[in-house]
Amino acid sequence: MQSSPEGNGKSSEEEKAIIEEEGQVAGDSTTNLKPGVASVLCYVGFWVTGIIFLLIERKNRLVRFHAMQSLVTFGVLNIIWGTANTVRYWFLGWTSPGWLWHGLVYPQYVAATTVFGVFLAIWWVLWIVLMYQTHQGRIVRVLWFGDLAVTLLAGLDGISKQDLEETLKHPESQKEPGQPSTPAAKEKIQAWDRRHRDLEGTRSGRVASSSAVVAWSAVLLVFFNLFSEYFAYYQREIMDGVTEWNIYPLLTQEFSLVLPILNTTLILTIAGHIALIAIDRYLLRQITVLVLNILGMVTVVTFLKVFPFDFGAIPNTSLVTILPTIAVAVLIVMAVGLGIGVVVRFVKLIVNLCERG
């Protein structure tokens, strides 16, 4: 039985479309590397090679997952142990001479060193495990970071998380589940996903959130510039039936060194969120919040470096001993949290720009 030329042409086009679909799952690659090799290379240079392969590998989603996981995992861990290490060196500089011995008895130094050591160990263990397991053909999803990588990559590639999850479970699969049969259908789904993400939440919710940030930043701006002496430890005393409050200010004169950067951050936060209330655009919000998170992290790190606190006047020996450590721990957590926010916002911004491009 002979087939018509039209039928042959149609069959050839369908086969070509199927081959292109299959290439996006596991076989094809824009790097001309085997997927197993490319996946291992995503981890070799930590988050740096993660970014590189995320940019140059446009087809193979298995490789792109490893690249995104490398970027998210080692990027966040780098911020955590890097911040802790910076704090360690600040305290070492303050304890000279005899910095090593004196540094060991500073609780802040011990806390920062512990955080640095723990997360640096996690960094190297994950690096070795991820490269070895990936070389063996196994897909390891790091706790929390793996889920975040899937979410971000699904948004970047314009597919659902369920389809990407299925691809990772069966990377050898020859047909991607849920893949639209025509480019027009695929573009329609991508456009819907893009609009859905851009309009995430409600207009009123975003306005309420920005308004709350503006109000809180204004309160902090007024308080730290006009009433900073009331940032203090308060102790109630009753003498002859009369209640009196003793105030022990906690901020030192060195607070004046931190105030300029604090004021800059608060003023820009107020201005930025007022702009977001007036102009409700997804891209503008992402960029504004990213910049404000960076400024917030710089401000917190400045507090850590200057440490304008004096707890020695508090009439409680236990509090005098423990409060400096608590203050450093809180500031480190804030810096790390803002750092993680910067990484997540940056990745989301890149994802959105790539989609729009």
Domain boundaries in the chain? 5-197, 203-356
What pLDDT is attached to residue 323?
Answer: 87
Is the peptide bond preceding residue 97 cis, with omega within 30 degrees of 0? yes
- Residues 153 and 164: their CA atoms lie apart, in Å, by 8
Question: Against a cut of 0.95, is the pTM above it?
Answer: no
- Residues 126 and 147: their CA atoms lie apart, in Å, by 16
**Higher per-residue pLDDT: 76 or 175:** 76
Mean per-residue pLDDT for 170-176? 50
- Residues 69 and 46: their CA atoms lie apart, in Å, by 10
> Can you name the residues that pair with 249 across neighbouring β-strands?
232
Considering only CA atoms, which of 95, 76, 83, 81 is closest in space to residue 302? 83
**Candidate from 83-87, 219-223, 302-306 with smallest mean pLDDT:** 83-87
Tell me: pLDDT of 355 over 70.
no
Contact between 324 and 309 (Cβ < 8 Å): yes
Tell me: pLDDT of 322 over 80.
yes
What pLDDT is attached to residue 346?
Answer: 77
Mean per-residue pLDDT for 351-356? 59
**Higher per-residue pLDDT: 117 or 18:** 117
Mean per-residue pLDDT for 64-82? 88
How many C-beta neighbours within 10 Å does residue 155 have? 21
Tell me: pLDDT of 169 over 60.
yes
Most confident of the ranges 6-15, 86-95, 99-108, 110-119: 110-119
Most confident of the ranges 63-72, 84-93, 237-246, 281-290: 63-72
- Residues 193 and 176: their CA atoms lie apart, in Å, by 18
Average pLDDT, the chain: 77
Collapsing DSSP states into helix, strand and coil, what is residue 232? strand
Q: Report pLDDT digits (tens) over 109-146.
A: 667 777 788 888 888 888 888 888 888 888 888 888 88
**Candidate from 15-24, 102-111, 216-225, 261-270 with smallest mean pLDDT:** 15-24
What pLDDT is attached to residue 10?
Answer: 46
